[in-house]
Chains A and B, each alone.
Chain A
């Protein structure tokens, strides 16, 4: 069987990202290893209670892996929100929203009813999008009451 072990986001600043994912989101550190010779830090976090899937907070690389121009372009794309989305699920969207808000997460929008459930979204400091969904039985009319 093949399964997903880690997904990855590009981040502008690993220290800032680490603070966000641990202090604000409440996740745990899975790995934090610095390879001095490579000037590289392998940093991975993940949600408490889900041990087998993690998120790698990868620094936007510079030369020699990426030339200066491409590196700046990549950092810019992430800042513009083009870095991608992480889709999270929760049992209770409102409770998660309240809990994370209390820890300082600034949401894009409040929990909103959708045909597939209730969801909301926020971004990490670099601009990566994170969607938080409470999945419910599909109802095309949910969330469209006038």
Chain B
């Protein structure tokens, strides 16, 4: 086995988040997939991908939640638990912070024709994942 660049191991952790976001996955699980200690992993992941593993996992869950809101008629609670988010309250708050509207308003804002677009799931997962934003940054934008 050829020794691989560190980034290749970090990618394995990111792939794990993409595959198992629906489970109660933690950053420690991701560190394990990369074969690194938790602290070292978090630092290197952020250096390689520009965001912390926790942010990645959170935005992956939000991206998949948004996809379910677009294509299903499930309740917000069902969508929340289907993507591995722990509580409806914090899920709804995170969703609103990142997408700028509530899950229900997000669903209404999408044309139903979007359900018929044939885009491979990996492409959607790569391009539709929102950028994580903090409350502090939101205050700096000056608009809602």
Give Cα A75 to B4, complex, Å: 10
Say what secondary structure dominates the interface of chain B.
helix
**Complex CA–CA separation, A109 to B18 (angstroms):** 9
Interface size on A, residues (CB 8 A): 31
19 A/B residue pairs, CB under 8 Å, sorted by A: A12-B2, A12-B5, A13-B2, A75-B5, A79-B8, A79-B11, A80-B7, A81-B11, A81-B15, A108-B19, A112-B121, A114-B120, A125-B2, A127-B11, A129-B122, A133-B120, A141-B71, A146-B72, A146-B78
**A116 pairs with B18, CB closer than 8 A:** no
Q: What is the interface of chain B, defined by CB distance below 8 A to chain A?
A: 1-2, 4-8, 10-11, 14-15, 18-19, 48-49, 68, 71-72, 74, 78, 82, 115-116, 118, 120-123
Question: Among the listed A80, A109, A129, A131, which residue makes an inter-chain contact with B10, where contact means beta carbons less than 8 Å apart?
Answer: A80
List CB contacts (< 8 Å) of A93-146 with chain B.
108-109, 112, 114-116, 119, 121, 123, 125-127, 129, 131, 133, 138, 140-141, 144, 146
Residue of B nearest to A76 (CB): B7
Cβ contacts under 8 Å, B8 to chain A = 12, 79, 125-127
